[in-house]
Amino acid sequence: MDAALDQIGPRLRAARRDRGWTLEDLATRAGMSASTLSRLESGKRQASLALLLPLTRQLGLRIDDLLPATPADPRIRRPVERRDGMVIAPLTLEHSPIKTYKVTFPPAEEAPAPRVHDGYEWVFVLSGRLRLALDGHEHLIERGEAAEFDTRTPHSLSATAEGPVEVVSIFSASGERIHTRGVEAQPDGGTEAVPVAASPERAGSERWWVSVGDEHDPWWGFVGVGVAEGTGELHRSIR
């Protein structure tokens, strides 16, 4: 896995140079500093979804394009899992550094208990309506919209009572253990889900929702919606 992650920086640099862009060009387009991008390309800063998503959008790449090709191996590809009415279909191989799933949630009258764990998650709604609870505030995400957020924020995902919802979810390995297996503690010292009441306060934190652009250019002109800490107000801005 470490070897695969080591390839992200050089591949980012190659993609940027192929387009004739300087560090400043790409950094400005992606909304980050040139020094952050430079450290990411050189491997001095760990790659995360929060950094990779805006970069791959601007470069016209998928996150998988930054990782070395892994030959498919049916012995380690997990089958579709069904649990608590959910249908969870893995879309990446077992040892992929970034996990992608297609998940169908059944209709639900109420949101499930929120979880807190390390990681960063991006969710895109394929059909139906997704109920996202963040810090005790519920938000409805419609078909064609997406959400991305720090999973250290108390959160839960579910369908509404209106019907099932189908989503594509991308998150880190720690996030995968919590959401697809329901594990609250790892014997090897891995991530542990903690009750909301015990989670630390993180004043000033920010989560961003993104909405897909127009039908002619669906991956550009994303709209960010930040949820202010301790409030239910939505703040819109162009990213």
pLDDT digits (tens, 9 = 90+) for 177-235: 334 333 333 333 333 333 332 223 332 333 333 333 333 333 222 223 333 233 322 22
Domain with CATH 1.10.260.40 in the chain: 2-66
Q: What is the mean pLDDT of residues 73-93?
A: 76
Task: Please give the pLDDT value at position 58.
Answer: 92
Q: What is the mean pLDDT of residues 46-75?
A: 77
Task: Please give the pLDDT value at position 156.
Answer: 93
pTM of the model as a whole = 0.49
Q: Domain 2-66, what fold? A: 434 Repressor (Amino-terminal Domain) (1.10.260)
Q: Whose CA is closest to 207, among 146, 129, 126?
A: 146
Domain with CATH 2.60.120.10 in the chain: 81-238
Say if CB 11 and CB 66 are below 8 A apart: yes
Distance between alpha carbon 209 and the CA centroid of its chain, in Å? 11
Rounded Cα–Cα distance for residues 148 and 123 (Å): 6
Task: Please give the pLDDT value at position 46.
Answer: 84
Say if CB 205 and CB 174 are below 8 A apart: no
Indicate left, alpha or beta for 182 from its phi (over 0: left) and psi (-120 to 50: alpha): left
Give me the residues paired with residue 170 across strands. Answer: 100, 122
Asked whether residue 84 carries a pLDDT value surpassing 80, the answer given is yes
Please tell me the CATH code under which domain 81-238 is placed. 2.60.120.10
Percent of the chain with pLDDT over 90: 34
Task: Please give the pLDDT value at position 108.
Answer: 94
Neighbours of 126 (CB within 10 A): 14
Rounded Cα–Cα distance for residues 156 and 143 (Å): 18
Task: Please give the pLDDT value at position 2.
Answer: 57
Task: Please give the pLDDT value at position 51.
Answer: 86
Average pLDDT value over all residues in the chain? 71
Asked whether residue 129 carries a pLDDT value surpassing 90, the answer given is yes
Task: Please give the pLDDT value at position 159.
Answer: 96
Q: Could you say which DSSP state residue 222 is in?
A: -
Asked whether residue 68 carries a pLDDT value surpassing 80, the answer given is no
Q: Which residue has the tokens 């709209």?
A: 223
Task: Please give the pLDDT value at position 147.
Answer: 87
